Structure 1
């Protein structure tokens, strides 16, 4: 078995990894053809991830022009601890304000430490409702996935 095969995460491991991490790096194609890279908070969605952003942001403009991106989530500070998931994705842009509000609430609840289904504080709901008209939702659906967990090597190289 190749080293690559040894460190690859299973589909379940990828889902668990995405559920525990907090930041994705999203690469879209800028107007000059170069990658535009941006870190974003996210929440797991189906087999990929979802987030929101300002509708006038550069990433939004890029994704409206070409609804494709590469997403990277990684961690580890030494070789034997390196883990990550990178995937190419088709991107769905969500503009319905009610759905963007729902996505914003899910995102903010996640980062506040709430569990799915926990009640949404009125102040948070009001804040998100005020933000949603200026934002769009982004759903990243993987088309090609690469993953690695060097911890599976047991400290050997």
Structure 2
């Protein structure tokens, strides 16, 4: 078995990994053709992830031109700890205020557990008109977990 096969995560491992991490790095193509990279909070959704961002952000301008992105989630401080998932994604831009609010609620629930639901809904509803939802659906997933090598290279 190749090293690549040894470190690949199963679909279940990918799901578990995404559920346990906190930040995605999203690469879109800027107007000059160069990658534009931005970190975002997210929540797992289906095989991919979802989030929201300001409607006037550069990443949204880029995604309006080309609704494709590469999403990276990675961790590890040494070679034998390296883990990650890279997803080439089709991106849906969600503009319906109710749907944007739902995405915002999903996101804020994940990062502010235990907050009063009514207070949370009020804050998210106030922010939703300025936001765009982003739903990342993978067309290709590459994963690695170097801990599967047991410390050997």
TM over 0.5: yes
Give the equivalent residue in structure 1 for 2:86: 86
Counterpart-to-counterpart distance in 2, 1:29 and 1:8: 27
Cα pair 1:109 1:120 within 8 Å, conserved: no
Q: What is residue 147 of structure 2 aligned with on the other side? A: 151
- Distance (whole Å) between structure 2 residues aligned to residue 152 and residue 109 of structure 1: 32
SS at match of 2:92: strand
Distance 1:146 1:103 in 2: 25
Q: Displacement, 1:112?
A: 1.3
Once the two structures are superposed, what CA deviation does each residue of 1:17-45 show, in whole Å capped at 9, x if it has no partner? 00110000000000000000000000000
How far apart in 2 are the matches of 1:143 and 1:32?
24
Alignment match of 1:121 (pick from 110, 117, 121): 117
Q: Quote the offset at 1:120 in angstroms.
A: 5.2
Residue 68 of structure 1 and its aligned partner are, at CA, apart by: 0.1
Alignment of 1:2-21 (within 5 A): 2-21=2-21
Aligned length: 153
Please report how far the alpha carbon of residue 121 of structure 1 lies from its aligned counterpart in structure 2 after TM superposition: 2.1
In 1, Cα distance between equivalents of 2:32 and 2:119: 41
Runs (4 or more) in structure 1 with deviation over 3 Å come to none
> Aligned partners of 1:11 and 1:18: how far apart in 2?
11
Q: What's 1:56 paired with?
A: 56
Q: What does residue 41 of structure 1 align with?
A: 41
Indicate whether 1:110 and 2:106 are aligned: no
Shift of 1:122: 1.5
Q: In 2, Cα distance between the equivalents of 1:7 and 1:112?
A: 33
Q: Unmatched 5+ residue regions in structure 1?
A: none
Query: Match of 2:75?
Result: 75
CA RMSD of aligned residues (A): 1.0
Q: Secondary structure at the match of 1:145?
A: strand
Q: Secondary structure of the residue that 2:27 maps to in structure 1? A: strand
